[in-house]
């Protein structure tokens, strides 16, 4: 069985359409980011406390909100979590003693709701200072991995390849973040972990293509650089699609069956795999060509 | 056949065998139901767990805390060891949660990380950790009184079969001991017990000047060999008295100490213990005997404290001066009490000469120095520290009562056991479905070659888990995701190779040549593309804590193992087919 028998698609020629699509997504993300006043940050970065409760019977989030409203918790959010009997309560503790505040909430709920018992399934609490630290740590982590990759590719390939790869990576991270902002999904530590994984994964795809370009440049003398790029992408197309497909299969399994706790993580991976595959075909190689042409024209001037 | 084929095949088979062996404890543990686990004793379960893949806090449930020591009220000088004091206090407290593998770690200049897996009552733990240190000074009870108390507890434990009643030891284990006992001479065990009592009596009459340290001929050695006493003497058989100078110290092997501790907490035993007395444990392991096995010391003390930590003015570790050979040149702690307490201290020391004063931190005995003279000016020295570190630790404990620096919880992640269990179940389901989809896809798309890839995939799974068991690393929920993700990625290497082979076949090369150049050409691509993913996994490991680290670990091991299975194992199978079976066409 084969999906593609000797494909011959002119990817390079379609680069303008690709750039337009990518630009649009990132721009939409940027607008959403500005309008919403930043990302929807989880307590990992914003600080705060999260309590996950599982009730014996389904519970109405609206009435729960009314009941807890009496406690006047600051920036309280109550959301259903995965199923009708499970809820997430998020708030900003007023004192340093968040343990006491969580206890207040559970005691209060036990008092008010007598016919529906619940169990505390999870408590997460991050102080404001720690939140800020984690924010910087996450940014550094992303930066470090990008720098590491830039160095590795520059050594193993050439600098122009590294530029193509890095631009593609920025594109993937930005596009995924844009989608998260548009869908109003929370950015948490695990989402950042997923982003870093995407960086590695998308690069994997890009390198396979670049490897082929490098090989073809050596073996095929008669063709121009953009013809070779097109040929290489076509040659590796089956592999790119199949690997992405198998990875997507497992990510979909995670998304559907992995549970609510890692849903956002799986979602980021899902977006990332799709965007990463797309970028290694439509972004990385055209950028490589663009850089090549720019160097050539600047050389001609002399 | 190609050169090295058999050697390589043998090595791969060996690796598979080793991997399976490493995974045995994990599978055994996973196969046990909760009810079956309850039947196992603490020690059996702990041994099994130590050789299995650890489950992260997010899977088995537990608590991760980051504490910050509030030093705002301390002077610069006091700040110096405030973190150490807090650490010592917390470490001392963690013991009572009965958590099997707690982690307590300093972070930066004012933070402490505490991880308590499988914790039953997180609220209680948080309250205990957040409390200020409770330092007390209590008089140690000695002699016949202690022996009689232990005897009484032993009797009640045997009569009411408390160990089994409270599920501390299973009936099965007890019966195993019983059958062993039949073969042994019971009268001998009684003789040892009477020996023990004689020892105690003689130590009672011994004078303070008697300095013979009697360790070699102590009952400890004899009793250590007699592990069959357990049924008749559930308590005494687990306690090893050791005569040293004028006192008898009672030691309990570390493996047994939780058993006794649980036993002492039962109502029946509490009823036997006199009201003004309590049983306390030493705070640290003591290593005894030729094999330096860990023991915990058992103390019987007066319940009412003579004095508390508020009385402490200062405690400084230093090297002793002067001519007294027990002090000069040895690590000691200079211990001073506040002016208000000088009189109290004089009274305590005066009326308890030749007794031991236990320094008790949060209900654990840190040290029990002997009182030699009445101390009138509130300034004393504590000798007997083995080295400077021990003296330092003691001083830290003494000061922790005097200079309490409150700790605040600045980060908490607590996962209840049911959520953890749900996560495991969901992770397993997702993995199963993911694997099934990929396996089927590869079979359909690459036919026979797909079967090879699927075989490599299952080996990959085996290797990753075995490596995790070997490295004793922790499986977290994102870790399971990482494992699942490597399934998707693991076939990538095979896909790269297969696509190359197809291309070569399209060029009308022979099958042998196609396989050969397919592997050669794909090799560097596979290495290059995987190394960068490894690079990001490395960054992830450094960036993340707990769950994310687990993800980085499974991802890294998965990548390495997938390269191995594709480049070595798949290759061997292809070589076998090409050179042995010599097919005319390749099903790929």
Q: Which residues of B touch A250 (CB under 8 A)?
A: 434-435, 437-438, 484-485, 487-488
Do the beta carbons of residue B581 and residue B511 sit within 8 Å?
Answer: no
- Residue B576, domain CATH: 1.20.1640.10
- Residue B82, domain CATH: 3.30.70.3400
Question: Closest Cα partner for A244 from A263, A270, A282?
Answer: A270
Is A230 inside a domain boundary?
Answer: yes
- B15 and B163 co-located in one domain: no
Kindly report, residue by residue over B75-127, the tens digit of the pLDDT: 777 777 788 888 877 887 776 666 767 888 888 888 999 988 877 777 777 77
Which residue pairs from B153-156 have beta carbons closer than 8 angstroms and sit at least 24 positions apart in sequence? Answer: B153/B235, B153/B263, B153/B264, B153/B269, B153/B272, B153/B273, B154/B233, B154/B234, B154/B235, B154/B236, B156/B268, B156/B269, B156/B272
Spell out the per-residue pLDDT of chain A, length 302, in tens. Answer: 788 777 888 888 888 899 999 999 999 999 999 999 889 999 999 999 999 999 999 999 998 899 888 888 888 899 998 888 999 999 998 877 777 788 888 888 888 888 888 988 999 999 888 889 888 888 888 888 888 888 888 888 888 888 899 899 999 999 999 999 999 999 998 898 888 888 888 888 888 899 899 999 999 888 888 899 999 999 999 888 998 899 899 999 989 988 888 899 899 999 999 999 999 899 998 898 888 888 776 655 44
Most confident of A273-287, B181-195, B243-257, B532-546: A273-287
- A114 and A248 co-located in one domain: no
Q: Which of B302, B333, B368 is the last residue of a domain?
A: B302
Q: Which of A102, A126, A150 is the last residue of a domain?
A: A126
Interchain contact, B533 vs A201, CB within 8 Å? yes
Is A213 inside a domain boundary?
Answer: yes
DSSP B226-269: -GGGGTT-TTGGG-EEEEETTEEEEEEEHHHHHHHHHHHTSHHH
Interchain contact, A259 vs B492, CB within 8 Å? no
Q: Which of A126, A151, A185 is the last residue of a domain?
A: A126
pLDDT at B437: 92
Q: How many domains does chain B have?
A: 4
Length of chain A: 302
- B424 and B455 co-located in one domain: yes
Is B136 inside a domain boundary?
Answer: no
- B374 and B246 co-located in one domain: no
Interchain contact, B411 vs A125, CB within 8 Å? yes
CA A198 to chain B, closest CA, distance in angstroms equals 9
Q: How far apart are CA B331 and CA B367, in angstroms?
A: 14
- Residue A73, domain CATH: 3.30.70.3400
Q: What angle do CA A17, A19, A25 make, to 5 degrees?
A: 105
- B573 and B514 co-located in one domain: yes
DSSP B331-352: EEEEEEE-GGGHHHHHHHHHHT
Helix (H, G, I), strand (E, B) or coil at A9: coil
- B427 and B380 co-located in one domain: no
- B99 and B84 co-located in one domain: yes
Tokens of B304: 């009412």
Is B200 inside a domain boundary?
Answer: yes
Q: Would strands B277-282 and B364-367 be described as parallel, antiparallel, or unpaired? A: parallel
- B298 and B311 co-located in one domain: no
- B110 and B250 co-located in one domain: no
Q: What ipTM was predicted for this assembly?
A: 0.87
CA A280 to chain B, closest CA, distance in angstroms equals 12
- A121 and A135 co-located in one domain: no
Q: Which of B92, B121, B150 is the last residue of a domain?
A: B121
Q: How far apart are CA B549 and CA B542, in angstroms?
A: 8
Q: Which residues of A touch B445 (CB under 8 A)?
A: 1, 242
- A173 and A218 co-located in one domain: yes
- A78 and A151 co-located in one domain: no
CA A56 to chain B, closest CA, distance in angstroms equals 13
Tokens of A205: 């795809």
- Residue A179, domain CATH: 1.20.1640.10
- B213 and B338 co-located in one domain: no
DSSP B464-512: HHHHHHHTT-EE-HHHHHHHHHHHHHHHHHHHHHHHHHHHHHHTT--HH
Which residue is listed with tokens 């009182």?
A: B371
Tell whether the model's pLDDT for residue B185 goes beyond 60.
Answer: no
Is B320 inside a domain boundary?
Answer: yes
Residue range(s) defining the domain that contains residue B281: 141-302
- A94 and A159 co-located in one domain: no
Is A3 inside a domain boundary?
Answer: no
Maximum CA pair distance of chain A?
84
- pLDDT (mean) for B573-585: 87
Do the beta carbons of residue B557 and residue B494 sit within 8 Å?
Answer: no
Task: Write the residue in B411, B416, B531 that is nearest to A120 by C-beta.
Answer: B416
- B436 and B352 co-located in one domain: no
Q: How far apart are CA B53 and CA B23, in angstroms?
A: 8
Kindly report, residue by residue over B298-323, the tens digit of the pLDDT: 999 999 999 888 888 888 888 888 77
Is A2 inside a domain boundary?
Answer: no
Is A166 inside a domain boundary?
Answer: yes
A262: closest chain B residue by CA: B478
- B115 and B211 co-located in one domain: no
Is A7 inside a domain boundary?
Answer: no
- B263 and B318 co-located in one domain: no
Tokens of A249: 């299969």
Do the beta carbons of residue B445 and residue A158 sit within 8 Å?
Answer: no
Is B194 inside a domain boundary?
Answer: yes
Residue range(s) defining the domain that contains residue A98: 48-126
- The interface residues of chain B toward chain A in range 493-512, judged by CB-CB distance below 8 A, are 495-496, 499, 502-503
Kindly report, residue by residue over B447-478, the tens digit of the pLDDT: 999 999 999 999 998 999 999 888 878 888 88
């Amino acid at each position: 069985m084969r999906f593609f028998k000797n494909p011959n698609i002119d990817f390079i020629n379609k680069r303008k359409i690709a750039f337009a699509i990518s630009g649009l997504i990132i721009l939409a993300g940027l607008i959403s980011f500005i309008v919403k006043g930043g990302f929807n940050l989880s307590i990992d970065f914003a600080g705060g406390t999260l309590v996950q409760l599982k009730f014996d019977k389904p519970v109405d989030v609206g009435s729960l909100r009314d009941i807890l409203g009496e406690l006047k918790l600051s920036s309280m959010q109550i959301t259903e979590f995965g199923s009708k009997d499970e809820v997430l309560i998020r708030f900003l503790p007023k004192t340093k003693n968040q343990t006491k505040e969580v206890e207040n909430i559970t005691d209060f709920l036990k008092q008010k709701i007598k016919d529906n018992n619940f169990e505390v399934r999870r408590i997460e609490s991050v102080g404001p200072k720690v939140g800020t630290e984690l924010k910087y740590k996450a940014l550094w982590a992303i930066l470090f991995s990008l720098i590491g990759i830039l160095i590795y590719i520059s050594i193993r390939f050439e600098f122009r390849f590294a530029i193509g790869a890095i631009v593609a990576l920025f594109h993937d991270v930005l596009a995924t973040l844009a989608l998260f902002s548009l869908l109003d999904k929370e950015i948490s530590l695990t989402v950042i972990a997923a982003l870093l994984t995407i960086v590695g994964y998308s690069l994997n795809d890009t390198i396979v293509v670049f490897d082929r370009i490098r090989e073809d440049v050596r073996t095929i003398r008669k063709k121009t650089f953009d013809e070779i790029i097109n040929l290489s992408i076509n040659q590796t197309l089956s592999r790119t699609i199949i690997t992405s497909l198998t990875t997507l299969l497992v990510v979909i399994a995670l998304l559907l069956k992995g549970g609510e706790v890692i849903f956002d993580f799986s979602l980021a991976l899902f977006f990332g795999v799709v965007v990463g595959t797309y970028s290694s075909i439509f972004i990385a190689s055209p950028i490589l060509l663009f850089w090549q042409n720019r160097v050539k024209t600047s050389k001609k001037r002399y | 056949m190609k050169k090295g084929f058999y050697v390589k095949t043998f090595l791969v088979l060996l690796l598979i065998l080793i991997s399976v062996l490493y995974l045995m404890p994990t599978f055994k543990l996973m196969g046990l139901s909760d009810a079956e686990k309850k039947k196992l004793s603490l020690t059996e379960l702990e041994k099994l767990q130590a050789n299995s893949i650890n489950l992260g806090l997010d899977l088995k449930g537990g608590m991760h805390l980051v504490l910050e020591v509030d030093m705002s009220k301390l002077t610069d000088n006091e700040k110096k060891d405030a973190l150490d004091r807090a650490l010592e206090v917390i470490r001392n407290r963690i013991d009572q949660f009965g958590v099997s593998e707690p982690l307590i770690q300093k972070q930066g200049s004012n933070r402490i990380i505490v991880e308590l897996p499988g914790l039953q009552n997180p609220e209680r733990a948080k309250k205990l950790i957040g409390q200020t240190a409770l330092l007390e000074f209590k008089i140690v009870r000695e002699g016949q009184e202690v022996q009689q108390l232990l005897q009484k507890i032993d009797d009640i434990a045997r009569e009411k079969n408390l160990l089994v009643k409270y599920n501390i030891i299973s009936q099965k284990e007890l019966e195993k001991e019983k059958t062993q006992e039949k073969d042994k001479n019971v009268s001998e065990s009684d003789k040892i017990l009477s020996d023990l009592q004689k020892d105690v009596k003689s130590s009672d009459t011994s004078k303070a000047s008697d300095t013979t340290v009697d360790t070699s001929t102590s009952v400890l050695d004899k009793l250590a060999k007699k592990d069959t006493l357990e049924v008749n003497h559930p308590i005494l058989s687990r306690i090893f008295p050791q005569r040293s100078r004028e006192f008898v110290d009672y030691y309990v092997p570390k493996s047994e100490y939780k058993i006794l501790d649980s036993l002492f907490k039962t109502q029946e035993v509490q009823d036997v213990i006199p009201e003004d007395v309590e049983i306390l444990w030493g705070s640290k392991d003591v290593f005894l005997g030729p094999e330096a096995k860990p023991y915990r010391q058992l103390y019987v003390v007066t319940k009412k404290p003579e004095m508390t930590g508020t009385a402490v003015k200062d405690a400084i570790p230093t090297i002793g001066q002067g001519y007294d050979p027990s002090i000069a040149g040895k690590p000691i702690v200079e211990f001073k009490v506040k002016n208000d307490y000088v009189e109290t201290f004089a009274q305590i020391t005066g009326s308890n000469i030749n007794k031991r004063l236990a320094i008790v931190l949060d209900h654990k005995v840190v040290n029990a120095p002997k009182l030699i003279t009445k101390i009138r000016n509130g300034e004393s020295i504590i000798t007997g520290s083995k080295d400077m570190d021990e003296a330092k630790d003691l001083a830290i404990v003494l000061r922790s009562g005097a200079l309490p620096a409150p700790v605040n919880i600045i980060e908490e992640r607590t996962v209840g056991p049911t959520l953890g269990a749900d996560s495991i179940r969901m992770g397993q389901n997702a993995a199963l479905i993911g694997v099934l989809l990929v396996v089927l896809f590869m079979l359909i798309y690459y036919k026979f070659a797909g079967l090879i890839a699927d075989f490599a995939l299952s080996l990959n799974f085996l290797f990753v888990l075995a490596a995790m068991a070997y490295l004793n690393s922790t499986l977290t929920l994102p870790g399971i995701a990482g494992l699942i993700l490597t399934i998707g990625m693991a076939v990538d290497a095979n896909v790269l190779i297969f696509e190359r082979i197809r291309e070569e076949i399209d060029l009308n090369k022979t099958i042998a040549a196609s396989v050969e150049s397919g592997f050669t050409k794909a090799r560097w691509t596979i290495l290059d593309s995987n190394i960068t993913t490894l690079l990001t996994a490395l960054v992830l490991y450094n960036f993340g804590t707990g769950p994310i680290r687990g993800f980085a670990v499974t991802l890294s091991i998965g990548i390495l193992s997938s390269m191995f299975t594709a480049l070595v194992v798949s290759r061997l199978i292809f070589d076998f087919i090409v050179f042995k079976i010599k097919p005319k066409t390749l099903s790929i």
